Each structure stands twice: as C-alpha cells, then as structure tokens.
Amino acid sequence: MSQTQWTVLGAGSLGCLWGGYLNRAGFSVTLLHRSGVSAPESLYLTPFQATEEVAFEAKLKSAEQCAPGSIKQLIIATKAQDALTAVAGVEHALADDAIILVLQNGMGAQQAVAEKYDRYAIVAACITDGAFRSEPGHVIHAGKGISRVGALNAKGKAVESAVVEQLKQMDLVIEHCPDINQALWNKLAINIGINGLTALDQCLNGELNDPERLAHVEILCQETEQVMQSLKLQIPEHGLFGLVKDVINGTAKNRSSMLQDIQKGKSTEIEYINGYLLKQAKALGIPAPENQKIYDAVLKRFHSANAL
C-alpha cells in the first residue's frame, strides 16, 4: 500500500471514480471541488458490478485552499471545456516537478494544457470506462473499459512508466500506451461517429443502426478517415466505420455522454469532438461537410451564443 498523494481536480463522475479507486488502492487523495460550491458530504463508490457502495476517503477542498507547491500529482477530471481554466486555478499550488494527468474526452483540451504547461510533465489517459453520479459524491462504475495512459510531452515521457505503475494499483484496467495520440484519435473517431447524432436524435447508441442514421455515421467516418490518413495515423484494419459499428453494437443500450449532457441541460464537448476534427480538416484543406453539419446543429440547438 502506498501513501503517495494524488490531487483530483473536479469532483464529478470521473473525478470521484478515479479518486475512489485510488483511495481504495491505498493512495492519499485530495478532491478539489469548485470554489463557492458546497463539497459533497460523503464519498461513496459502487465498484463495477458490485451490489453495494463502499465509502472512500478524500480531503475535500477548493483550489484556492491548496498551499503553494503542495500538488505533486494532479488529475484534471473536468469536462474538456473547463480544463484550461481549472488548471489555471491550481497553478499556484503546483510543485516545480508536478505531474499533470489529463482525462478529458475528445481532443484539443489535453493538447492545450500540454502546450500552456509544458514546464510540467503532462500525461494523458484515454478512458473507455463509464461512470455516473447518483447524487453528489456517490459514483457508480457502470461500464468496465480500459484506460490507456501515455505522455503528451517530453517531461511526461520521463515519468509515464512510473505513473502507469501507480495507476495499475487501482482496480481498473490500465494500459501503458506509448502512442497516446493514436489512441486519442481512435476514441475521437468513435465519438465523432456517435455523440452528435445521438444527441440530435435523442436516441440510444444502438438506434444508430437505423439505415438512415447509419448512412450519416458512415460519412462522418469517411471524413475522419481522410483527416487521419493525411496525418499519417493508423486506420483500424476494418476501417473507422467498422470500428464505430462495433462500438454502436457493443454499447447499444447506452446513452452517449453528449446525450447525457444535453438531457442534464449541460453544455456539450462538441468543440473537442467534431469541432476538433473540423479544425484539423481546415488546416489540411480537407472538406468535412457532414462534421460541419453536426457541429452547427449541436451548437444551434444546445448551446447559447456565448456558451463556448
């Protein structure tokens, strides 16, 4: 058992999930919640397929309550659109040799953190687990997946193996991923194929098998494939459409994270999913009209003019 410390920024679903599993593995955990928002009164984790929840321990505080230089290992567990602001809020507390682990979905937020905070070791995790909160501080591990972990910058490269060894002590599937960029792109491609359409049609992942919807999924995958090929990234053997169809069938009864966000009245991560693809496509001169259509429609329907 280790008493090594991890500070988790964002006491949401994934922050509580990782905080809970880290604490159960013997780590000392600090969970940073938003300032001015009351901290959860108690912390409970329902491990995957468990019938009962178990209590876990974490110090609860806000970023400004952290002493200068006190954070050595930081996990950013906010939504993508909140990540940069959240890191700025704890910058004063980062030790000179701090490690920052970014867990966001999509792409762009992790890279923005890596660029702005390049003086620190930055490591990313690409996560396929599913978790939700039944109430504040109570998290349920609903879907067992894999977390692929790898460095985003040179300093991260020097510590990634040590970080992976720590994370492997959790009762989660953790895999060292020397090419995290490729893993993030593969997951991005899946999110591009599924998230926007399920949010707009308010349907379950499996309902994308409807032939009309599947035709849109195919075009989204073709556009993504062109961008990935141009960036010299690997395309799965059976193509992105094949990959996305496998995920649609394997998660047929699930609600995508974007559908869940809009049903809770929250802003979506569209800017970091189809929005990221569009930025890359534009820079490469590749047309991506289907992605543009989904991006525009999600912004128009679910985001206020100033939301992003």
User: Where on the chain is the footprint of ligand NAP (CB under 6 A)?
Assistant: 9-15, 32-34, 37, 63, 77-80, 82, 85-86, 89, 103-105, 127, 129-131, 257, 269
The minimum distance between CB 128 and ligand NAP, in angstroms, equals 7
Q: Taking Cα atoms as reference points, which of 302, 299, 277 lies closest to residue 290?
A: 277
On whether the CB atoms of residues 288 and 278 are closer than 8 A, the answer is yes
With a CB cutoff of 8 Å and minimum separation 6, the contacts of 212 are: none
The minimum distance between CB 205 and ligand NAP, in angstroms, equals 14
**Bridge partner residues of 5 (DSSP):** 28
Q: Looking at 79, 155, 187, 245, which residue is catalytic?
A: 187
Q: Give the separation between CA 37 and CA 18, rounded to whole angstroms.
A: 21
Please say which residue, 74 or 86, places its beta carbon nearer to ligand NAP.
86
Residue with tokens 């500070």: 7
Residue at shortest CB range from ligand NAP:
12
The minimum distance between CB 143 and ligand NAP, in angstroms, equals 7
Q: Give the separation between CA 72 and CA 66, rounded to whole angstroms.
A: 12
Q: What is the torsion angle, in degrees rounded to the nearest 10, for the CA atoms of residue 295, residue 108, residue 260 and residue 302?
A: -40
The minimum distance between CB 32 and ligand NAP, in angstroms, equals 5
Query: Is 187 noted as a catalytic residue in this protein?
Result: yes
Q: Where do runs of H (alpha helix) occur along 231-288?
A: 239-250, 257-263, 274-284
- R_g over Cα of the chain: 19
Please say which residue, 230 or 260, places its beta carbon nearer to ligand NAP.
260
The minimum distance between CB 186 and ligand NAP, in angstroms, equals 14
Q: Give the separation between CA 11 and CA 9, rounded to whole angstroms.
A: 7
Please say which residue, 129 or 271, places its beta carbon nearer to ligand NAP.
129
Tokens of 87: 């890191």
Please say which residue, 101 or 208, places its beta carbon nearer to ligand NAP.
101
Please say which residue, 13 or 205, places its beta carbon nearer to ligand NAP.
13
Tokens of 227: 């961008």
The residues that are catalytic are 187
